[in-house]
Amino acid sequence: MSELYNFLSDINILTLLIMVPLAGSIITFLIGKNIKAAKVIPVVFSGITLLLATLMLLGFDFNLAGVNVFQYEEQYDWIQTLGVTYHLGVDGISVPMIWLTALLCFLAILFSWDVSNRTKEYMGLMLVLEVGVMGVFMSLDYFLFYIFWEVVLIPMFFLISIWGGPRREYAAIKFFIYTHIASLVMLLAIFAMYFVAGGTSFDMIFIQEASASFGLDFQVMVFLALFFGFGVKMPIVPFHTWLPDAHVEAPTAGSVLLAGLLLKMGAYGLIRVAIPTLPEGALELQWLLIAIAVLSIMYGAFASLAQKDLKKMVAFSSISHMGFVLLGFATFSAVGIAAGVFQMFAHGLITAVLFMVCGVMQHIAGTREIPKLGGMAQKMPIYATFMMIGFMASLGLPGLVGFAAELPIFFSFANLGGEWNWWIILPIASVAITAAYYIWAMQRVLFGPLTEKIDTRHLHDVSWYEAAPLAALCALIIFFGLQPGYIYDFIRPVAEALSALVPLGG
Amino acid sequence: MTDYTAILPLVALAGFAILAPAVRALSKSDKATAVWALAGIMLSAFFVVDFLLNNPAGSAVDYMGVVELNSFSALFMLIFLSVATYVVIASMRFVDGEKHVGEYYALIMLAITGMMVVASSLDIITLFVGIELTSLSSYALVAFKKTNKRGAEAATKYFIYGALSSAIALFGISLLYGITTQFSYLLVPGTSPLTFENIGIAVQAAIGTPIQPILYLATVMLIAGFGFKIALVPFHMWAPDVYEGAPTTITAMLAAGSKKMGFVALFKVFLIGLIATKSDWSLLIGLIAIITMTVGNVMAVSQTNIKRMLAYSSIAQAGYILIALPVATVSDPSVAAYGLAGGIFHMLTHAFMKGGAFLIVAALATAALGENIADYKGLAKRAPLMAFAMMVMLFSLAGIPPLAGFASKFVLFSGAIDAWRLTIDNEWMMWLAIAGILNSALSLYYYARVVKNMYVEKGPESRIKVSRAMAVAVGICFVAVIVIGVYPEPFIRACLDAANAFLGY
């Protein structure tokens, strides 16, 4: 226990990480009449949150690891009749996610510096979103978890429907209802686990420990419900149809948070709740998980290849990349789980760059249609650099962060052996398709003769508030690409413990 | 000496009600009459709270075996009195300048008295008298704005449907009377043959005898009779018209109060009187619950008038509450009590969120805003507080955390899951929860549409000024929805106590 750890525990760091953005959003809503204040206050509050999250990262105790070993824990009574407590805690899986949340929210708010339409509402909602995502990654009580899970929907609904693209109304309501149904199915599964575990506590740790007595049929059924609930959020094919609409219509910062954080919530739920609580059910359904993972990977890749809209291409590539997360988890091996979590982290960084790049293009050129663009690198060299780093990282170039996640996933899947031996060809092949659509898109957008289909006289390079977040993210992509160990150190011990829960081969 | 504790709240409210027109005539002030009504409500609430504070949980006092004050009836009395409070406060502005204001308040208080009688009744005749007291007062209240054609039409419709349903229910009751007198030697000596307890004994005895078919007929009549009052599908056709045509404060009372009374009646008759034949009706009630919520939600989607939309949403909510009835029939006491508590809790929260939503409509209507959903465009700019309150009410109705509607749906739906995992023959109860959550998701569509109109769409720029009385009434509901949502513990506790008292555990 370091001094920093003790200090952070004393100041209830986890509650602070929720309260600071919450306070920021309330203040923004109240005194946001002044446009300048409506921008500065959110930047300050999300900046403080990022600072706190970084401290939490530094104070983390690597000696404590295992299933149900949590740090910075806080627990208070809340609804005694139902056995609900306000229970927060983090382990090696949630810590990188929390830091990612703080980072992306800060950068997304900075990136939105030029939002002039209803600025205070926009910024306030971004901070509410941060509250919700933070809460999901640190809740250790199902009731609390569910509340944060749902809190995320409302700001995103407004972000899409007020600041979104032309089809925003349809996209917003589709996103809202689709993901709400999924949440409710998850809630039913939670009820079932709660009652079978004795009906006395909604505590995740309690239910996880009581789950040894769950019968196999029950485990399979509840796992399916949870898998649906979390899978829609990830998203998995065939429940992905809300994603392209929501992503394409959302404002850029909204897309960044949607892809960078909201999709991670689904994957996080799987690894935090579904797999450790229902290991036998998970094992029984391993074939389904792998099949859907491979399907998502392939479908997402092929769909990306066919897109004309840059942003839509990036949106479909998210489906493909989240498929890798699921594939890693589905091996139930320590390597696979660790790499899956690392892929969540990596995809968060990369996809933020990708959506920001798309947003900048829309902003500067007025269109994201790939056929209308061309030769943009001549006019926007800095922009072109960011785009190339983002695309290269996403297609898994060694030395960048995406590669450090994907390689171990292939490794763990290949190690699975048995009837899955030949399946490894499919995800490996997808890498070629991924490379194809990214490089092809880059070639058409950045290189070649300057396009004549749009007015290129007013093209200019990225503004400071766009360049700063992009530069920070690109730096991190390179840094963690070269030093993935910094993050893997957090994840590995927990992944090993989780993997030991699943009775593989027996 | 007779203990009057049980009837003090009823007598206090009825007494103030009867004197209200006189107060109006003497003071010639509408405001003074409203204050008089509030005083009566507060006095009545004082007697209830006084009983709760000075008696250990689970205790009960009855008055001559006719009405009983216990955790269950006390909780419902407080719910009804809360409804009365915000309706009266909102009415201060709403009936400004109308004729017969004294009678208006008197009728509201009498309607609430009737609901409280139902909640505390020990026999089915008292229950029926309570229902009629509420119904007759409500008919007149719906027609309060006499010159309004839609109001008059609504009142006529309400009266005809109401009288018909009362007759049907009464027919069912008379059949039950026939059955109980057959077994009078079994009944508790010295009590009326129509107490719920005695009905339960007689029904148990009637099983397997030649009069059992009469029992089926009685059951059907009672479902139909009470189903009309609660607006269960297929007995719901009157509700949207009446809710739309009535003065909006009265609509709030009908949705938040009268409907709950119908549920209390249904619970008493079925869970105590007819519990022995539960296997005959619980599946039927479960089906009606699913059909009711589905029809209510599907119909609500296509509405353009906000009062009609809320009326259909009320029908859907009645379907959710009805889940509690089959769940409360399971044999495990704690599961049954938990299930019933879910229903009670949802009634409690519904009284505030639906009442609040109607009050906001009323408040905006007095400020000359139309009642079409399209009229709510850009409301967030024109009346930010009202728009925010409306959003909270609607999201609460949809069951979005951390609002009251989420907490109560949480208990309600989990109750069904609890019953499902308990025993094999209750497997179908899982479908109650599944239907409930699918419907909740469907309902989000039309609630979100109103929110979208208020916050996303652009409308006229002019500000809307809402009167202070209206704002206070909305504020009560708003605070209740937030507080119950964030800290539901004491409310769940109270509902569990009530359910235990009701089921006699």
DSSP character string of B123-156: BHHHHHHHHHHHHHHHHHHHT-STT-HHHHHHHH
The pLDDT assigned to A506 comes to 40
- Interatomic CA distance for residues B62 and B53, integer angstroms: 17
Are A187 and B449 in contact (CB < 8 Å)?
no
Q: How far is A479 from chain B (nearest CA, A)?
A: 39
HSE-CB of B185 using CA atoms within 13 angstroms: 1
Are B421 and A187 in contact (CB < 8 Å)?
no
Counted residue by residue, chain B has a size of 505
Neighbouring C-beta atoms of residue B100, cutoff 10 Å: 15
- Whose tokens are 């008089």? That residue is B36
The pLDDT assigned to A1 comes to 66
Q: What is the residue range of A312's domain?
A: 287-506
Are B437 and A187 in contact (CB < 8 Å)?
yes
Domain ranges in chain B? 8-503
Q: How far is A158 from chain B (nearest CA, A)?
A: 8
Phi, psi of A505 (to 5 degrees): 70, 15
Stretch B318-327: mean pLDDT: 95
pLDDT over threshold 60, residue B419: yes
Question: Does a structural domain hold residue A81?
Answer: no
Nearest partner of A455 among A356, A359, A364, judged by Cα: A364
Give contacts of A135 with chain B, Cβ < 8 Å.
Answer: none
CB A126 within 8 A of CB A39: no
Q: How far is A120 from chain B (nearest CA, A)?
A: 14
Q: Where are the beta strands (DSSP E) in A80-197?
A: 84-90
Stretch B6-32: mean pLDDT: 93
Q: How far is A84 from chain B (nearest CA, A)?
A: 9
A contact test, residue of B327, B330, B453, B456 with most A CBs within 10 A: B456
Residue A195, SS3? helix
- Identity of the highest mean pLDDT range in A323-332, B364-373, B416-425: A323-332
pLDDT in tens, B86-97: 999 999 888 877
Question: Does a structural domain hold residue A70?
Answer: no
Give contacts of A180 with chain B, Cβ < 8 Å.
Answer: 440-441, 444
Are A191 and B401 in contact (CB < 8 Å)?
no
Total domains in chain A come to 1
In degrees, to the nearest 5, what angle opens at C-alpha B39 toward C-alphas B34 and B42?
125
Mean pLDDT of chain B: 92
Q: How far is B77 from chain A (nearest CA, A)?
A: 23
The pLDDT assigned to A366 comes to 87
Are B402 and A147 in contact (CB < 8 Å)?
yes
Question: Does a structural domain hold residue A73?
Answer: no
The pLDDT assigned to A452 comes to 85
Give contacts of B496 with chain A, Cβ < 8 Å.
Answer: 81
- Interatomic CA distance for residues B431 and B424, integer angstroms: 14
Give contacts of A229 with chain B, Cβ < 8 Å.
Answer: none
Residue A199 touches chain B, beta carbons under 8 Å: yes
CB A362 within 8 A of CB A165: no
Over the range B319-352, which residues count as b (16 or more CB within 10 Å of their CB) and which as e?
bbbbbbbbbbbbeeeebbbbbbbbbbbbbbbbbb
pTM, entire model: 0.94
ipTM above 0.90, yes or no: yes
- Whose tokens are 């010159």? That residue is B147
Question: Does a structural domain hold residue A17?
Answer: no
Encoding tokens for residue A253? 């910062």
Question: Does a structural domain hold residue A200?
Answer: no
Give contacts of A161 with chain B, Cβ < 8 Å.
Answer: 452, 456
Are B400 and A162 in contact (CB < 8 Å)?
no
Question: Does a structural domain hold residue A333?
Answer: yes
Residue of A nearest to B391 (CA): A154
A contact test, residue of B444, B453, B482 with most A CBs within 10 A: B444
Stretch B482-504: mean pLDDT: 94
Are A169 and B456 in contact (CB < 8 Å)?
yes
Are A162 and B438 in contact (CB < 8 Å)?
no
Stretch B226-239: mean pLDDT: 92
Residues whose CB is less than 8 angstroms from the CB of residue A185 and which lie 6 or more positions away in sequence, other chains included: A225, A228, A229, B437
pLDDT in tens, chain A (506 residues): 688 999 999 999 999 999 999 999 999 999 877 888 889 999 999 999 999 999 999 999 888 777 788 999 999 999 999 999 999 999 999 999 999 999 999 999 999 988 888 899 999 999 999 999 999 999 999 999 999 999 999 999 999 999 998 899 999 999 999 999 999 999 999 999 999 998 899 999 999 999 888 989 999 999 999 999 999 999 998 999 999 999 999 999 999 999 999 999 999 999 999 999 999 999 999 999 999 999 999 999 999 999 999 999 999 999 999 999 999 999 999 999 999 999 999 999 999 999 999 999 998 888 899 999 988 898 899 999 999 999 999 999 999 999 999 999 999 999 887 788 888 999 999 999 999 999 999 999 999 888 888 888 888 888 899 999 999 999 999 999 999 999 999 999 999 999 999 877 54
- Interatomic CA distance for residues B23 and A447, integer angstroms: 87
Are B492 and A161 in contact (CB < 8 Å)?
no
Are A188 and B417 in contact (CB < 8 Å)?
yes
Give contacts of B455 with chain A, Cβ < 8 Å.
Answer: 158, 162
Residue B435, SS3? helix
CB A265 within 8 A of CB A136: yes
Are B492 and A150 in contact (CB < 8 Å)?
no
The pLDDT assigned to A212 comes to 86
Q: Give Cα separations from B359 to A207, A303, B36, B93, B403 (angstroms).
A: 42, 50, 21, 12, 18
Encoding tokens for residue A196? 């079978």
Confidence of residue B423 (pLDDT cuts 50, 70, 90): low
Q: What proportion of chain B, given as a percentage, has pLDDT over 70? A: 99
Q: Give Cα separations from B447 to A343, A473, B54 (angstroms).
A: 37, 39, 43
* Helix H or strand E segment including B69: strand B67-69
In sequence order, what are the beta bridge partners of B121?
B67
Name the residue among B440, B449, B489 with its Cβ closest to that of A184. B440
- Interatomic CA distance for residues B99 and B145, integer angstroms: 9
Question: Does a structural domain hold residue A118?
Answer: no
Are B418 and A191 in contact (CB < 8 Å)?
yes
In sequence order, what are the beta bridge partners of A203?
A141
Number of A/B CB contacts below 8 angstroms equals: 80
Give contacts of A158 with chain B, Cβ < 8 Å.
Answer: 455-456
Stretch B492-499: mean pLDDT: 95
Are B413 and A187 in contact (CB < 8 Å)?
yes
- Whose tokens are 């409210």? That residue is B13
